Amino acid sequence: MLVKTFGSAVYGINATTITVEVSTDAGFKFYHVGLPDNAVKESQQRIETALKQSGYKMPGKKIVINMAPADIKKEGSAYDLTIAIGILAASEQIVPKRNLNEYVIMGELSLDGTLQNIRGALPIALEAKKQGFKGVIVPMQNVQEAAIVNDLEVYGADTILQVIQFFEGEESLQRHTINHAEVFNNQLHQIEHDFADVKGQENIKRALEIAAAGGHNVLLIGPPGAGKTMLAKRLPTILPPLTLDEAIESTKIHSVAGRLGKETRITSLRPFRSPHHTISDVALVGGGMNPQPGEISLAHNGVLFLDELPEFKRSVLEVMRQPLEERCVTISRARFSVEFPASFMLVASMNPCPCGYYNHPDKECVCPPGSVTKYLNKISGPLLDRIDIHVEVTPVPFNDLTREMPSEKSSDIRDRVIKARELQHARYAGIKGLYCNAMLSSKQQRTYCTIDEASTQLLKTAVQRIGLSARAYDRILKVARTIADLDNSVNIQTYHLAEAIQYRSLDTDAWNK
């Protein structure tokens, strides 16, 4: 007897429907075809033991399992449940009263018949809805993320026995639904850090406000204990809230990476990722034999914070250059390639020198001559050019630490950021993939970042004296455009440009020692 069940293969952050054809006939052999990997081939032993523990058995016949399309490699153990239900139906141990063709079935089997969680339940559910399936059946650990998809029946199961009973017509599984608006709004208020906790540092807060308003990358330079990490952790609290589409896209990435907990429904807060400086290039950008998203993709729609930037391996930092420009990363293998989105704000921090006290107002730098330049040269010029804002963080004076006057709240700063972003959305309406000033191409910049004669002369003087690169020139204009948006100004004024120029501190001679 021939039976078809349906599963799904996840590549990148998207899924492809897999048809599992199970045929039983006279004989005793077990054939598994359709480009399965070793984990899929090993499903025979897991399924046989799980069925025995659940009161069923592997039929004593020739079993042929074909997974189509055959040119797509099937990886992992998530097809166990799909194959097991197909074997039971093909051997007539169960007579389904519900149509197997209407459901995508995925789950890893334990030897006792319980189901283990899988990766990529959200993209699997999205693809099932796209292909017109009635519903999906996944392990109970994945039901919350799969239920994000509307107009699709989503069922969570703890054991294979519950799935068998479901297809035999019993109400063994409960349909799960989620109120998107309620969950989304509840999670939006779960903010741990606030700029109100930060004493002083008004100039740094201003720089981070500009960065948030335009989506610009930021480098914080200052001595130990000046507050660089504390300020960076509070940046997500002034970014505009995620839209529902952005939240679903971010949730897909975390789902594929297996980073969603059992109770996690949807990622509604902007991600903040802070990898250690010992991270490898594969862990940062993604990859592996079965490509998985890296830290830059997990930070998609949020912030990637690299503390102590010069301590990262140079090769690790250099692989970020293309994703910073393209806002995605493509991982190629011999037979296929996958693409992960990577539209993130890069926030980095570093000491000004090896000892940490170069340019410190009170403490003396003990580094030997030339060491500051050598230290800064650990970061390549092309990478620095891709960071729009360089800002020096100085220690907080004692008077600011002890003053009782409260600092401005993150919510107040975010209101100004949202207004600036709304101006940008209106300005770039109709241009696909352009949401903020940091995304402007050189051609678009000539249209939206025009300056008058006085501003042109100011910028010319700055370029000649500082020796800015062409990319740094572009970055200054983009930052000036954001400052003008925060000022609710249609045109870039000279003082907007002057403020933008001062955020290129590493391009000056002050750091050469």
Within-domain flag for 355: yes
The domain boundary residue, chosen from 399, 426, 453: 426
Q: Are 212 and 426 in contact (CB under 8 A)?
A: no
Instruction: Tell me what pLDDT residue 262 has.
Output: 65
Higher pLDDT, 260 or 179: 260
**Is there a single domain that holds both residue 151 and residue 211?**
no
By C-alpha distance, which of 394, 391, 356 is closest to 375?
Answer: 356
Within-domain flag for 117: yes
Query: Using one digit for the tens of pLDDT, what is the confidence trace for 74-117?
Result: 888 999 999 999 999 999 999 999 999 999 999 999 999 999 99
By C-alpha distance, which of 29, 30, 24, 21 is closest to 3?
Answer: 21
Instruction: Tell me what pLDDT residue 378 has.
Output: 87
**Is there a single domain that holds both residue 155 and residue 192?**
no
Average pLDDT, the chain: 89
**Is there a single domain that holds both residue 54 and residue 140?**
yes
**Is there a single domain that holds both residue 243 and residue 385?**
yes
CA 15 to chain centre: 17
Within-domain flag for 178: no
Question: pLDDT band at 263, cuts 50/70/90?
Answer: low
Query: Using one digit for the tens of pLDDT, what is the confidence trace for 8-55?
Result: 999 889 999 999 999 999 888 889 999 888 889 889 999 999 999 999
The domain boundary residue, chosen from 358, 392, 426: 426
Query: Using one digit for the tens of pLDDT, what is the confidence trace for 313-366?
Result: 999 999 999 899 899 999 887 777 889 999 999 999 999 888 888 878 788 888
**Is there a single domain that holds both residue 28 and residue 65?**
yes
Within-domain flag for 250: yes
Question: Residues 6 or more apart from 332 whose CB is under 8 A from it?
Answer: none
Q: Are 201 and 231 in contact (CB under 8 A)?
A: yes
**Is there a single domain that holds both residue 289 and residue 348?**
yes
The domain boundary residue, chosen from 370, 397, 426: 426
Cα 475-239-182 angle, rounded to 5 deg: 150
**Is there a single domain that holds both residue 269 and residue 297?**
yes
Within-domain flag for 125: yes
The residue written with tokens 């000892």 in the block is: 355
**Is there a single domain that holds both residue 202 and residue 76?**
no
Does the N-terminal peptide bond of residue 224 adopt cis geometry, omega within 30 degrees of 0? Answer: no
Residue 127 has pLDDT above 90, yes or no: yes
Within-domain flag for 295: yes
**Is there a single domain that holds both residue 212 and residue 327?**
yes
DSSP H/E element including 456: helix 453-466
Instruction: Tell me what pLDDT residue 188 has.
Output: 54
**Is there a single domain that holds both residue 103 and residue 235?**
no
**Is there a single domain that holds both residue 11 and residue 123?**
yes
**Is there a single domain that holds both residue 215 and residue 161?**
no
CATH number at residue 160: 3.30.230.10
Residue 169 has pLDDT above 60, yes or no: yes
Instruction: Tell me what pLDDT residue 513 has.
Output: 44
Instruction: Tell me what pLDDT residue 493 has.
Output: 94
Q: Are 134 and 100 in contact (CB under 8 A)?
A: no
CATH number at residue 383: 3.40.50.300
Question: pLDDT band at 386, cuts 50/70/90?
Answer: confident
Which domain range does residue 48 map to? 2-167
Q: What is the number of structural domains in the chain? A: 2
